Structure 1
Amino acid sequence: MKKLLVVLLGLASLNVCVANPTYDATRGALQNDPSLCQYGYNPNCASSRQHQRNQPTEIINIKVPSQYGAWAVNPKTGISGGVLNMSSRALAEKEAIRACEQGGRNAPCVVGAWVRNGCIAVAQGKTGKKLRTFYAIEDPNLAEPTALRKCQDAGAVQCRITTPEGCSLPKF
């Protein structure tokens, strides 16, 4: 009787393995049921991956106008001025020179740096007796640290931010 019971249990377990040869006991029921492939529950199905790859991707181009900023300085006096969020580089440079010259009292000014869709900061430090200027044009929150690092990497001392970070970023 015991032999018969062992044989029956053995046949029953063999029947389970033969009934579904793809069944893997180490994976859950959702991964083993091929009928669930069409619903995306079974990541091991080639058909669900194929279905996902065949989905059309819609590309939408949105035209967002660029924004410009500029910083100008009078090389003799060191007085500077700048503007942000202008519609063109030429306009940004023109307005930066106008802001720097302060109605003619600080003329002549020259553009030191400009930015398109980014941020600008200016640092100054001394190299010997000469004051040097360092510009950084970066992503938001990176311009000031970059300007200071450029100043320090050049061997200047007493490096400090003279123009805090200002950003000209497109508006969505």
Structure 2
Amino acid sequence: MKKLLVVLLGLISLNVYANGCGGEYQPATGTCRIIDSSGRQILYNVPSQSNTHTQPKKIIYYDVKVPSKFGALAFDARSGNIGGALNQNSKAEAQRAAIKQCGAGNKNIHCKVLSWVRNGCVAAATGKLNKQTRVIGGAAEQGAAEKTALLNCKNEGMTECKIVMPEGCSLP
């Protein structure tokens, strides 16, 4: 019985190394993953047993540098205006555009940036604290900015929190 187990384990290990991979074999996709000396990941298609004379196909993955995009929210507590800016090339540009949007052409503006984001999303919520209505922002990954704004509102001790500016995203 022990000899049979040893033979069975030997056959299983032979099957693993017989694929000619030389790296980490992925049986689900039939590919072999190898990390070269420069740290790049290379995937080869391992030929099937019936067609062992073909050369494996070499797949190389590259990192693509994509410029970041910024967004911001601004609020004027005196007038109650809210402004936002998305897809700006820098944090400063996003903040300036949000303040300009918040002021909406008024010369007597007191807008301040609530929140900003790089490659993500922003939203604003309003709530009551000591009978005063306040606005608070939230910045997070896509699909979570509104939840973050509501959570920030509640964490500040506000009640009756609700979204006043829905999620907007600045993504590369």
Q: Report the TM-score when normalising by structure 2.
A: 0.69
The answer to whether the Cα contact below 8 Å between 1:79 and 1:106 also exists between their aligned partners in 2 is no
Aligned pairs, number: 143
Largest Rg, 1 or 2: 1
Indicate the residue corresponding to 2:91 in structure 1. 89
Indicate the residue corresponding to 2:56 in structure 1. none
Deviating beyond 6 angstroms after TM superposition, the runs of 4 or more aligned structure 1 residues are none
| Structure 2 spans left out of the alignment, 5+ residues | 26-31, 42-61
| Structure 1 spans left out of the alignment, 5+ residues | 1-12, 42-46
Structure 1 or 2: larger helix share?
1
Distance in 2, matches of 1:148 and 1:21, equals 61
Decide whether aligned partners of structure 1 residues 75 and 118 sit closer, same or farther in structure 2, where only a CA change above 3 A counts: same
- For residue 124 of structure 1, the aligned residue among 99, 105, 126 is 126
Identity over aligned pairs, percent: 37
Q: Report the TM-score when normalising by structure 1.
A: 0.69
Distance in 1, matches of 2:83 and 2:137, equals 14
1:18-61 C-alpha deviation (Å, 9 max, x unpaired):
xx88403xx6x9516x37623169xxxxx7669x7864242633
Decide whether aligned partners of structure 1 residues 122 and 22 sit closer, same or farther in structure 2, where only a CA change above 3 A counts: same
Question: Aligned-pair distance for 1:129?
Answer: 1.2
Report the residue type matching 1:127 in the other structure.
Answer: L
- For residue 12 of structure 2, the aligned residue among 21, 31, 37 is 31
Indicate the residue corresponding to 2:136 in structure 1. 134
RMSD across aligned positions (CA): 3.1
